[in-house]
Amino acid sequence: MSFTVRRVVTGHDAAGKAVVASDGPVMAAAPRPGQEACVIWADPVPTDNAAPGDGAALAAGSRLPGGAVFRLVRYAPGASGNMHRTLTTDYGVVTEGTITLELDDGLAVHLAAGDVLVQRGTIHRWHNPGPGSCTVAFILLDAAR
């Protein structure tokens, strides 16, 4: 299981004209067995559109204190993560396949391509029942609690 994402980032030149600052692949890393993830971009909030550099370098994982992280996660068929809680509010969009969100009380919610989720710092885990892989686009906002 390996995936690469094309990322196009816009910006401004010295005269303030809109430009494509970068256009190229972002490689996914495998943080857990059966799962690959890549940070597409991260920014403090409010963001500074004139800040130089690659925003993805600001967040190695799923949280940027005082900021937002945009990441893609691909789950292999049968992959199941550990119960965890993040100090973030997560906006998720299933872009491919199906995934099950399991909460700590045993509740299971099945999501399919096109479904969206707002995950507000609850204890949860993800399970891909298969048969194919599942990709979820997440925007994770730092949360106070």
Task: Tell if the pTM clears 0.85, that is, is over it.
Answer: yes
> Residue 90: helix, strand or coil by DSSP?
strand
Give the whole-angstrom CA distance, residue 64 versus residue 42: 7
- Architecture per CATH, 28-142: Sandwich (2.60)
How crowded is the C-beta side of 47, counted as CA atoms within 13 Å? 13
* pLDDT tens per residue, range 50-68: 888 898 888 867 889 899 9
* pLDDT tens per residue, range 118-141: 999 999 999 999 999 999 999 999
Q: Which residues pair with 84 in a beta bridge?
A: 124
Domain boundaries, the chain: 28-142
pLDDT along the chain (145 residues), means of 10: 87 93 89 89 91 85 89 95 92 97 96 97 95 96 91
